[in-house]
Amino acid sequence: MRKATCSVCGSEQPSGEMFALDGKPICAPCAEKLPAETKAAGEKLQLGRIMDPTICSVCATDHGDTQLPLIGGKPVCDSCAPGLYHRPFPLWLKAGLAVLLLLLGWSLWRSRHYFAAERHMVRGERAMDRHDYTRAANEFQQALLILPDTQKAALLGAKARFMAGDPDGAVRFFSQRSHWDHADALYKEVNGMFKSSVNAVRKARRAVTLDGQGQYDEAARLMTEAAKEYPQALNLAIASQVFNSRAAFYRKDYDASLAFAQAALDKSPGDPNLNASVAAALACKYALTGDAKFRDQAEQMLAKAQTLAQASPDDRAAFEDYSVRIRYRLQSREVLDKDEYDRRFPPKGAKR
């Protein structure tokens, strides 16, 4: 231990218990009187504790005359120094962290079905971004198989079905859940799509009824509205073109009829009935103009429709029905609608 003499009272004291004032040692009792004196003199007190380099600042062991090495400006003995560099973490901290990590591990293990469902959700959303709605709907269905009560999966599945033009499929997703969070923005969006599709289907049904009653222009107008209301529904878009083509035919506007029939075919080139509709419109053009180009095109389209119709018995039967009228039109250059044709040439077994 080192000793120093107080620069104020002259007493000798252990230097570790003294202070320094302007570089001079001062004992604790004298230092205590200083604040009042300096305050009265209007001076600023510059007081610091003197460090005894022979006393360890950690364990306070007196090492006699041996000056200890300084660590961070403080004297530290050899037995205390390693402890400063390897200060242990307290047991409660290590135990707490261990418990939390165990809890986290258990939670992750318990949540593995969430991860499995999320993988399908992510794949589904990616498929939505690619406009692959069928794949998306399948992925959301997979997510629902894992977590049946997931509103987001049910809504996205319904949305995917709506976007694919399959309102019935969308309703199947809706029916997988009995209660909904009506404040959810996605719920509002999909519910809006649902309402639009219901309106569109209602209009489409009315259009079909009017078409059956021979009100072709009104039927075409309603079907066009239905297609606009539910633009994702391909069948409505095609029906809209077909109905407009038919309305134009009855107005004897064969150019418009051909254009609408071609627009319908462009949306579904593999449909034999739509190929036949173009053939029928081309036959009208041939009947009107006598231009062999239209006849050749009509025959090509009819041959294509015949090939495509072989895939299903219904399509084959439909082809047998309309092909005779189109061929008659090409042969006679006389445009007859179905009723007039049937009146003149009654189908086998039909009463005149």
Partner 1 sequence: MFLIPSVVISVLTFPGVIVHQAAHLLCCRIARLAVFDVRYFRFGNPAGYVIHEATTDFKKIFLVAMGPFFLNSAFCVLFCSAAFLPLWEFRVADPLAYFFYWLGLSLGMHAFPSTQDLKGMWKLMPAEAGKFNLLAIASYPIVALVYVLNYAKFFWADLAYGLAIGILVPIAIFKALP
- Chain residues that interact with partner 1, rule: CB under 8 A: 57-58, 71-74, 76, 81, 84-87, 89-90, 93, 100, 103-104, 107-108, 111, 114-115, 117-119, 121-122, 147, 150-152, 181
Residue 56's nearest CA partner among 44, 45, 67 is 67
Question: Would you say 125 or 217 has its CB closer to partner 1?
Answer: 125
H or E element in which residue 3 lies: strand 3-5
Residue 347 near residue 260, CB atoms below 8 Å: no
| Least distance in angstroms from the C-beta of 85 to partner 1 | 6
Answer whether 281's CB lies under 8 Å from 258's CB: yes
In the block, tokens 């209009």 appear at 203
Closest distance to partner 1 from the beta carbon of 180 (Å): 11
Nearer Cβ to partner 1, position 45 or 100?
100
Cβ proximity to partner 1: between 42 and 92 the closer is: 92
Per the CB < 8 A criterion, the answer to whether 229 and 196 are in contact is yes
| Spatial contact of 300 and 281, defined as CB atoms under 8 Å apart | no
Give the number of other Cβ atoms within 10 Å of residue 187's Cβ.
Answer: 17
Least separation in angstroms between CB 87 and partner 1? 4
**What minimum distance in Å lies between the beta carbon of 229 and partner 1?**
31
Q: Residue 117's CB: how many other CB atoms inside 10 A?
A: 22
Q: Give whichever of 156 and 233 is closer to partner 1, judged by the CB atom.
A: 156
Taking the complex as a whole, how short is the minimal distance between the CB of residue 129 and partner 1, in angstroms? 11
Shorter beta-carbon distance to partner 1: residue 57 or 277 = 57
